[in-house]
Amino acid sequence: MVSVAGMEKLMNVLRIWGAPLTAVVFTLLWLVGEAGRMGPWPGLPTWNGTMPLLLSTASIAVSAWKHYVSLGFTAALLLGQLLGLIPPMEANHWPIYVGSFMALAFIQWTGDRRARVVSVGSNAVFLVLMTILLMAGQYGDGVGWYSSPDGQLLNQSGGEALNRLVFSLWVGVLLLLIAVGFAAAGRTLSLYEERGGLFQDRNLAVDTLRQTEVDLIIEQERSRISRDLHDVLAHSLAVIAAQSDGARYISAGQPQPVLNALENISSAARSALVDAQRVIEGAGDGVAAPQPRFSDVLPLIERMRQGSLKISHTELGTPVELTTGAQVAVFRIVQECLTNALKHGGRGIPVIAHFDWSGPGLTLHISSDVPDTATHQAEEPRQGRGIAGMRERAHLAGGWMSAGPDGQQFRVTVFLPYGMPQDMPDGVGPAIENGAECGGSGQQRDALETAAAAGSGHSG
């Protein structure tokens, strides 16, 4: 059974090639059926039937895309015989007019409303006039339409004249039925295509409605999450900021480090509250929240220093302007690394952050000392959401990232190319990641990083 897609392909092919192929088949069948009786060729010095065949064939061939040209060929055939410019056909040549009705079928299929109406009207006129020609005197004895079985011409008087009229009317009715059949076939194909188009429009409308429902559900979920975040997170951060401010004012006589710590808590809580409100607003209305830039990295490092991390920040080479995606990736990766160092290492943990600008891209090394318990936890064969998020950000910026324990340190190495992602050496990213995920040694990773960065593999 032919599928819907297969039927559509077949219809498209027939729309383009159906008319020319029909014209070729029509001509070949007629030539085979009338072999030896059409001219002018040696021994057959008559055009009878040849010119009508050529005009009918041309009418069929162009009917699918040149509707009015096709009707013009039909009109030329009719006018030519009405004016005597085209010789009348022999008695057995009348089916050649069926070619005009084949052209009518293709016009009914492929034409617009105007072309369909014009084609029906012109073929109706053609049919009536050709029937009249059949009954006209010039289609009598000299043509041989009504010859007797023994080859003798019939007498045109009395009953034979009635037979002549009946025969002409019979041929006219037969041509009418053939014309109606071809027109109905063409119109049926046109309605089938229109029905298919309506089904496609309906399916598109259903898909659009379904997608709209999904978008509405997502928007409702965003609104719910935004309300929950606002009610829980924003409120908690505001309480933390207020409590730390109150503690700082009450503890005015406390040592300066204590006051600094309380001030840092208040400042961090207020900054986090502003960021949370931006994220909540962006999640509610679908607008992207402001993204950090590379210029925000140094203030981030300074804030984390005030949070009792011993951060050593070094740079090599001349800084290069990074793409927006790369700047966001650097900030978020540094933020995640410093947060993890504080979470797993605690206060006073030493952290080294080294930015190497001397290679084809920025190479970022961040290493931190970790206690034995944290080292054992890091050596477990699992990856946290933070590491997966950092790796995804590096990928989106066209680079790669490796992360893993190295002795008493946890090292994160990131490479972000200055240009487009295709500028990165082929195969470097997956090799580094696979090495890290498989627990490769620090020396192996350093060797791969050095090859990838082309001389920028300085470890911080």
Q: What is the pLDDT of residues 45-61, one digit of tens each?
A: 455 667 888 899 999 99
- Torsion angles phi and psi, residue 368, rounded to 5: -145, 145
* More confident: 94 or 27: 27
* More confident: 147 or 136: 136
d(CA 403, CA 412): 4
Average the pLDDT over 402-409 and give the result.
89
pLDDT reading at 150 higher than 80: no
Q: In the CATH scheme, what architecture does the domain 294-453 have? A: 2-Layer Sandwich (3.30)
What pLDDT does 133 receive?
Answer: 73
What pLDDT does 141 receive?
Answer: 43
What pLDDT does 373 receive?
Answer: 52
Which tokens is 289 given? 């929240």
Containing 404, the helix (H) or strand (E) segment is strand 400-406
Q: What is the mean pLDDT of the chain?
A: 75
Q: Tell me the pLDDT band of 298, cut-offs 50, 70 and 90.
A: very high
What pLDDT does 255 receive?
Answer: 81
Share of the chain above pLDDT 70, in %: 68
What pLDDT does 25 receive?
Answer: 92
Q: What is the pLDDT of residues 229-273, one digit of tens each?
A: 666 776 677 778 777 778 877 777 778 777 777 778 877 777 777
What pLDDT does 155 receive?
Answer: 45
Q: What is the pLDDT of residues 431-449, one digit of tens each?
A: 333 333 333 334 434 433 4
Q: What is the pLDDT of residues 311-343, one digit of tens each?
A: 999 999 999 999 888 998 999 999 989 988 888
Domain boundaries, the chain: 4-145+153-206, 224-285, 294-453
CA 353 to chain centroid, in Å, comes to 44
What pLDDT does 108 receive?
Answer: 92
b/e map 81-108, b = 16+ CB within 10 Å? beeeebbbbbeebbebbbbbbbbbbbbb
Selection from 369, 435, 354, 355 nearest residue 401 by Cα: 435
Which tokens is 45 given? 């010095």
What pLDDT does 53 receive?
Answer: 85
What pLDDT does 40 receive?
Answer: 57
